[in-house]
Amino acid sequence: MTSDLHLAEIPITIREWLGEITRLIAPTQGCTSHLEVIEAERGIFVLKQSEEPLFARWLAQEWQVLQWLAQTALPVPHPRVFVEDAGAVWLLMDFLPGEPLTEVLLRTSVGTRAPLMFSFGATLASIHATPSPPGMLVQTATEWLDTALETGAMHLRDFRALYADPQLPDLLARLRRERPVPVPAALIHGDFTTDNVLVVEGRITGIIDWSGGAVGDPRYDLALAFDVDQDEVALAAEETVAFYAGYGRVPLSKLEQQYFLDLYELY
């Protein structure tokens, strides 16, 4: 899709780093940032921009997380330039080939998707098995959950237009009361849905959208991997089995899964 972004709108720091820009492409937009694919003298890159204060904060977090993850073997975009300019933030990163796993699953018939789901589970296992890179805060899963709940309270207080559901304060109170039994912490993605995993010819090639990356509770990622209401992919039982075979551990209980899906509404 042709972009409606003018070159002059891109901060000069980014334009100078890119060199001659030959093409701007506007792919399907995300929910929190304006997105552009840029073909330029130095290669192909993705540019994300946000002005809304909360989303801008998330984009700044993604810049930091990607810098840490660049020290690992995970297939993540390499961050290149970050700019704060007149209330907006801009993040330039390497372009990763592929299309979201959601799109691949939607056009793949039920009964033939098990290999994709096995790879999806194995990808999450590789994230959780990756040691936390130097610089990233090392904490317990309990400490991560403490922060997540406090962040949820901050969202309700400071971003009421985005968190306007009147049931959310009661949900936060329940999540504080009914905390799950702690488990060992791991490196987590923080938004591990099929939208954020890229595929080329049946092979997972990249993991994107890392603003929630942290050392935290791995069950959060597991719950979001099966948030089928969000991704509109109805999974067959054998596909769930394939995912956990790739992941290599027992499934979440229904109570655990629902707890972390509820947490996602606030975090």
Q: Backbone dihedral region of 227: left (phi > 0), alpha (psi from -120 to 50 degrees) or beta?
A: beta
pLDDT at 229 over 90: no
Neighbours of 158 (CB within 10 A): 11
Residue 41, classed as helix, strand or coil, is coil
Sign of CA dihedral 8, 93, 136, 184: positive
* Dihedral pair phi/psi, residue 241, rounded to 5°: -60, -40
Distance CA 261, CA 242 (A): 21
Tokens of 2: 């042709």
User: How far, in Å, CA of 236 to CA of 258, rounded?
Assistant: 19
- What per-residue confidence (pLDDT) applies to 14? 97
| Token couple for 71 | 């020290």
Query: 247-265, pLDDT tens digit by residue?
Result: 999 999 999 999 999 999 9
pLDDT single digits (tens) 162-207: 999 999 999 999 999 999 999 999 999 999 999 999 999 999 999 9
Q: What is the gyration radius of the CA atoms in the chain, in angstroms?
A: 19
Question: What residue ranges define each of the domains in the chain, with the CATH number in brackets?
Answer: 7-94 (3.30.200.20), 99-264 (3.90.1200.10)
* Inter-residue contact 210 to 142 (CB < 8 Å): no
Pairing of strands 88-94, 79-85: antiparallel
- The interaxial angle of helices 168-177 and 254-264, nearest 10 deg, is 130
% pLDDT > 70, the chain: 95
